[in-house]
């Protein structure tokens, strides 16, 4: 019997396109990590394979790809090169908002291969990226923003930014084209996901043009980033499990004369890792299914899926480090990179603490003070 979460036959070609690209992405992942370079070639290849427009709504010229298929693609890309998956997810998320709720020019720009980035998180706002604290003041043609956004993945190659700001009538979102008022501050010498180059971006009296305002009616509606983030962690966790398995089968422990993988504690933890990963994937598939069926429970399901996937990626990374021993701790081992990359998902909004708080409040019936 086919899984209710299976990708439909007519969407399989998009998944196949990502699978074809994945070996090349995996081959270059170490280099992008070591040199902290944005995987521009990978992002171009995803665009040329038609995967940028595929994820956009049909009424705006896209293929209206299901969330289920998109999740599978994020998993495949994230397993091969998580920095590529992260920058691409932010690009698609910003594009989704601007193409769906902004002027038609954004669909044309995306089709032409222009790059998008999310400039939402504020230095003083942290996880509360949907509630900007920085005010934009009224000006001719719109509002002016003098402020900064932090950790903007792929900002250095972006042509258009999705930017939020506080107006008199509340939070608002705008498309901002790159110009001289947009300045990058290179803060991203990070532990993991080094190829995302998620820098600080200063908007120095930047005009937020009224005609580029993005009329997002419900910022909590299903969206590519909230639904995609669990898949980034699942991809990393799968790559980690593969790497640790390879090591466990091939490395002979001097004290036993047998491979690492023959020890009972490794069997037990490998079984736990395998089952946790299946569970994380099922939660993420369920969230995608709910999104594709317009279910009002989609966002809570995405939060549950993100929380669990982030934790599973970290658990498996810790297990991999134990299996790898000193060899896994060396720069030459893929295990150390996966360990570093696995920490990022839990930090990205909503962080695991914020997810736990949201779920726990709901369970306890806690009302805002
Ligand atoms: C790899 C990476 C890529 C990113 N890419 C982008 C991007 O492209 N665009 C973008 O706009 N942003 C991006 N971000 C930012 C990210 O999504 C978060 O908004 C940002 O990391 C949060 O700020 P902070 O880490 O300083 O944490 P803070 O929000 O300052 O949190 C500090 C600690 O407090 C906890 N905490 C915070 N609030 C609460 C609460 N209410 N209840 C309980 N605990 C809480 C957090 O979990 C954390 O442990 C990226 C971040 C990372 C790590």
pLDDT tens, position by position, 178-212: 999 999 999 999 999 999 999 999 999 999 999 99
Q: Residue 348: CB within 6 Å of ligand 1?
A: yes
- Whole-angstrom CA distances from 137 to 163, 166, 287 are 14, 9, 38
Residue 115 alpha carbon to ligand 1 centre in Å: 23
Gap between the Cα atoms of 110 and 114, Å rounded? 5
Q: What is the pLDDT of residues 224-262, one digit of tens each?
A: 999 999 999 999 999 999 999 999 999 999 999 999 999
d(CA 62, CA 72) in angstroms, rounded, equals 18
Considering only CA atoms, which residue is closest to atom 51 of ligand 1? 348
Nearest CA to ligand 1 atom 27: 126
Q: Which numbered atom of ligand 1 lies nearest the CA of 356?
A: 43
357 lines ligand 1 (CB under 6 A): yes
Q: What is the reported pLDDT for 170?
A: 92
Query: What pLDDT score was predicted for residue 368?
Result: 73
Domains, the chain, in order of start with CATH, read 9-114 (1.10.540.10), 117-214 (2.40.110.10), 224-364 (1.20.140.10)
Residues 117-129: tens digit of each pLDDT: 999 999 988 788 8
Helix axis angle for 224-250 and 82-101, nearest 10°, is: 170
pLDDT band at 220 (very low <50, low <70, confident <90, very high): confident
Count of beta carbons in the 10 Å neighbourhood of residue 251: 16
Is 127 touching ligand 1 by the criterion CB < 6 Å? yes
Q: How far apart are the first and last CA of the chain?
A: 49
pLDDT for the residue 369? 65
Q: From the CB of 323, is ligand 1 less than 6 Å away?
A: no
Question: What average pLDDT is seen over the chain?
Answer: 96
Average pLDDT rounded to a whole number, residues 312-341: 97
Q: Ligand 1 pocket test: pick from 122, 148, 310, 349 the residue with the most ligand atoms within 8 Å of its Cβ.
A: 349
For 42-56, what is each residue's pLDDT tens digit? 999 999 999 999 999
> What is the arithmetic mean of pLDDT over 92-112?
97
pLDDT band at residue 131 using 50, 70 and 90 as cut-offs: confident
SS3 annotation, 220-273: CCCCHHHHHHHHHHHHHHHHHHHHHHHHHHHCEECCCCEEHHHCHHHHHHHHHH
């Amino acid at each position: 019997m086919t899984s209710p979460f299976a990708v439909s036959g007519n969407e399989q070609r998009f998944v196949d396109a990502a699978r074809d690209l994945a070996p090349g992405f995996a081959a270059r992942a170490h280099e992008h990590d070591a040199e902290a370079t944005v995987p521009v070639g990978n992002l171009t290849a995803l665009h040329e394979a038609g995967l940028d427009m595929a994820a956009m709504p049909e009424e705006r010229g896209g293929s209206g790809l299901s969330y289920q298929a998109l999740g599978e693609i994020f998993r495949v890309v994230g397993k091969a090169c998580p920095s590529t998956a992260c920058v691409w997810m932010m690009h698609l998320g910003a594009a989704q908002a601007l193409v769906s709720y902004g002027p038609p020019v954004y669909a044309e720009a995306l089709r032409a291969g222009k790059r998008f980035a999310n400039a939402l998180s504020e230095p003083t706002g942290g996880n509360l990226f949907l509630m900007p604290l920085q005010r934009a003041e009224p000006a001719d043609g719109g509002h002016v923003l003098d402020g900064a956004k932090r950790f903007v993945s792929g900002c250095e190659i972006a042509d258009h930014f999705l930017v939020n700001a506080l107006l008199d009538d509340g939070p608002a979102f705008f498309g901002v084209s790159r110009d001289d008022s947009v300045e990058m501050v290179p803060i991203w010498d990070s532990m993991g996901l080094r190829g995302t180059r998620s820098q600080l971006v200063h908007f120095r009296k930047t005009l937020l043009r009224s005609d580029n305002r993005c009329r997002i009616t419900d910022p909590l509606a299903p969206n590519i980033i909230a639904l995609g983030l669990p898949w980034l962690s699942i991809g990393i966790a799968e790559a980690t499990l593969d790497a640790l398995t390879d090591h466990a089968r091939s490395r002979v422990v001097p004290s036993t004369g047998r491979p690492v993988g023959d020890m009972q504690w490794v069997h037990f933890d490998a079984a736990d890792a395998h089952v946790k990963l299946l569970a994380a994937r099922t939660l993420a598939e369920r969230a995608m299914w709910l999104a594709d069926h317009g279910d009002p429970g989609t966002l809570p399901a995405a939060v549950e899926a993100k929380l669990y996937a982030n934790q599973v990626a970290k658990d498996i990374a810790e297990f991999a480090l134990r299996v790898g021993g000193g060899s896994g701790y060396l720069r030459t081992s893929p295990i150390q990179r996966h360990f570093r990359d696995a920490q990022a998902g839990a930090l990205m909004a909503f962080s695991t603490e914020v997810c736990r708080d949201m779920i726990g409040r709901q369970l306890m019936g806690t009302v805002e003070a």
